[in-house]
Structure 1
Amino acid sequence: MELFFQQLLNGLTIGGVYSLVALGLTLVYGILHVPNFAHGAFYMAGAYVAFHLMNAWGLNYWLAMLGAALAVAVLAMLAERLVFHPLRNAPPLHDMIAAIGILLFLEAGAQVIWGADFHRMQTPYGGLIEFLGMTMQGQRALIVGAAFALMIALHLFLTRTVTGSTIIAMAQDREGAALVGIDATRVTLLVFAISGALAAVAATLYAPINLVYPAMGNLVITKAFVIIILGGMGSVPGAIIGGLIIGMAESFGGFYFSTDYKDIIAFLLLVIILSLRPQGLFPAKGAH
Structure 2
Amino acid sequence: MSDFLQMGLTGVSLGLMYALIAIGLTLIFGVMRIIQYAHGEMFMLGAFVLYYWHAEMGLPYWAGVAVSAVVIFGLGAVLQMVLFKPLHGKNILYSLAVSLGLVLIISGSGQLIFGTTTKGIPSAVSGGVLLGGAYLSYERMVISAVSIALIVALWLFLRRSVTGLAIRAVAEDPDTAALQGIRTGRIHWIAFGLGSAMAAIAGCMMGTLLSIVPTMGFLATIKAFMIVIMGGLGSVVGALVGGMILGMIDSVVTTTISGDIALILSFVVIFLILVFRPSGLFGQNWD
TM-score (norm: length of structure 2): 0.95
Residues 233 and 284, structure 1, Cα contact 8 Å, conserved in 2? yes
Shift of 1:138: 2.3
1:112 corresponds to: 112
Residues 40 and 217, structure 1, Cα contact 8 Å, conserved in 2? yes
2:96 corresponds to: 96
Shift of 1:133: 4.7
Change (3 A) 1:187 1:244: same
2:142 corresponds to: 142
Shift of 1:144: 1.3
In the alignment, the residues of structure 1 paired with residue 211 and residue 276 of structure 2 have an alpha-carbon distance, to the nearest angstrom, of: 37
Aligned CA RMSD, in angstroms, stands at: 1.6
1:124 corresponds to: 124
Shift of 1:116: 1.1
Which one-letter code corresponds to 1:62 in the other structure? W
1:242 corresponds to: 242
1:181-231 Cα distance to aligned partner (Å, 9 max, x none): 111111111111211111111111111111110111111110110111111
In the alignment, the residues of structure 2 paired with residue 199 and residue 126 of structure 1 have an alpha-carbon distance, to the nearest angstrom, of: 24
1:15-41 Cα distance to aligned partner (Å, 9 max, x none): 011100000000000111122101011
1:275 corresponds to: 275
1:227-283 Cα distance to aligned partner (Å, 9 max, x none): 111111222221111111111122222234334422222212111211222121111
In the alignment, the residues of structure 2 paired with residue 192 and residue 34 of structure 1 have an alpha-carbon distance, to the nearest angstrom, of: 10
In the alignment, the residues of structure 2 paired with residue 259 and residue 188 of structure 1 have an alpha-carbon distance, to the nearest angstrom, of: 37
Shift of 1:120: 1.1
In the alignment, the residues of structure 1 paired with residue 280 and residue 196 of structure 2 have an alpha-carbon distance, to the nearest angstrom, of: 25
| Partner-residue secondary structure (3-state), 1:215 | coil
Mind listing any 5+ residue stretches in structure 2 that lack a counterpart?
none
Task: For 1:71-220, list aligned pairs within 5 A.
Answer: 71-131=71-131, 133-220=133-220
Which one-letter code corresponds to 1:44 in the other structure? M
1:155-202 Cα distance to aligned partner (Å, 9 max, x none): 111111121111111111111111111111111111112111111111
In the alignment, the residues of structure 1 paired with residue 73 and residue 207 of structure 2 have an alpha-carbon distance, to the nearest angstrom, of: 18
Residue 37 of structure 2 is aligned to residue 37 of structure 1 = yes
Residues 129 and 137, structure 1, Cα contact 8 Å, conserved in 2? yes
Change (3 A) 1:126 1:268: farther
- Segment drifting more, 178-187 vs 121-130: 121-130
Calculate percent identity across the aligned residue pairs: 35
Which one-letter code corresponds to 2:139 in the other structure? Q
| Partner-residue secondary structure (3-state), 1:129 | strand
1:4 corresponds to: 4
TM-score (norm: length of structure 1): 0.94
Change (3 A) 1:270 1:122: same
Task: For 1:31-70, list aligned pairs within 5 A.
Answer: 31-70=31-70
In the alignment, the residues of structure 1 paired with residue 212 and residue 162 of structure 2 have an alpha-carbon distance, to the nearest angstrom, of: 37
In the alignment, the residues of structure 2 paired with residue 235 and residue 134 of structure 1 have an alpha-carbon distance, to the nearest angstrom, of: 33
Shift of 1:106: 1.0
1:78-101 Cα distance to aligned partner (Å, 9 max, x none): 110110001113211000110111
In the alignment, the residues of structure 1 paired with residue 196 and residue 235 of structure 2 have an alpha-carbon distance, to the nearest angstrom, of: 18
Mind listing any 5+ residue stretches in structure 1 that lack a counterpart?
none
Change (3 A) 1:257 1:57: closer
Which one-letter code corresponds to 1:167 in the other structure? I
